[in-house]
Amino acid sequence: MTGPESEGPVLRRAVCPGSFDPVTNGHLDIIARASKLYDVVHVAVMINKSKKGIFSVEERLDLIRGVTAEYGNVEVEAFHGLLVDFCKQRDIPAIVKGLRAVSDFDYELQMAQMNHGLSGVETLFVPTNPTYSFLSSSLVKEVAAWGGDVSHLVPGPVLEALTERLAER
Ligand code: PNS
């Protein structure tokens, strides 16, 4: 599809939002799959000031940028505010989310309906790879904090950062 000459081609954009504290192989799987479906995938690290993370927002951005660099069409940034405002400001019509299990569906459906009602932005659900259906950033942090092996659940640079951060504590 091509727009007016001065505007260049119309790019199909989607956003993969999250806290990403830290990014896991489950997140990466969804981002990689979205990057094949859309021209540009925006990864939005949503800032929630009431949730203190193990990694700062800057650290999360660096880790995600490092592990998504190979895709070539992924843009990573932080945002403080409503996801629909992030979408509006960048002309993004679609949110892509992974669904791990039925238990995710209830809250995800509420958010999807709220976001659509607020702005018309659509949410598309991608079934998580079953290998990662139990995986969450919280569980990774908990298992790693108790010395469990999470090397198969997070990308190498995240494992290094996590090991270093936990050793400081
Ligand atoms: O990785 P998470 O913490 O499960 O991601 C949840 C997130 C950040 C996608 C969600 O809380 C969100 O969209 N927050 C931004 C604020 C917002 O738009 N809230 C209204 C949601 S209907």
Range(s) of the domain holding residue 117: 13-134
Asked if residue 93 has a cis previous peptide bond (ω within 30° of 0), the answer is no
Number of residues in the chain:
169
Is the distance from the beta carbon of residue 144 to the nearest atom of ligand 1 less than 6 Å?
no
- Six-digit token string for 133: 């259906």
Q: Is residue 124 part of a domain?
A: yes
Specify the DSSP element, H or E, that contains 164.
Answer: helix 156-167
- Six-digit token string for 40: 């540009």
Pick the range with the lowest mean pLDDT from 3-7, 72-76, 129-133.
3-7
Site to probe by mutation for ligand 1, drawn from 50, 83, 123 as the one with most ligand atoms within 8 Å of Cβ, is 83
Residue 67 CA to residue 64 CA, distance in Å, equals: 5
Residue 134 CA to residue 155 CA, distance in Å, equals: 16
Q: Is residue 6 part of a domain?
A: no
Task: Identify the residue whose C-alpha is closest to ligand 1 atom 21.
Answer: 111
pLDDT average, residue stretch 140-145: 97
Q: How many domains does the chain have?
A: 1
Is the distance from the beta carbon of residue 128 to the nearest atom of ligand 1 less than 6 Å?
no
pLDDT average, residue stretch 8-30: 97
Here the CATH number for the domain that contains residue 45 is 3.40.50.620
Q: Where are the alpha helices (DSSP H) in 16-146?
A: 25-37, 57-68, 83-90, 102-119, 137-145
Q: Is residue 119 part of a domain?
A: yes
Coil, helix or strand at residue 9? strand
Model pLDDT for residues 149-160, shown as the tens digit of each residue? 999 999 999 999
Model pLDDT for residues 36-90, shown as the tens digit of each residue? 999 999 999 999 999 989 999 999 999 999 999 999 999 999 999 999 999 999 9
Q: Is residue 8 part of a domain?
A: no
Q: Is residue 93 part of a domain?
A: yes
Q: Are strands 13-18 and 122-127 parallel, antiparallel or unpaired?
A: unpaired
Query: In angstroms, how far is the first alpha carbon of the chain from the final one?
Result: 52
User: What pLDDT shows up at residue 3?
Assistant: 54
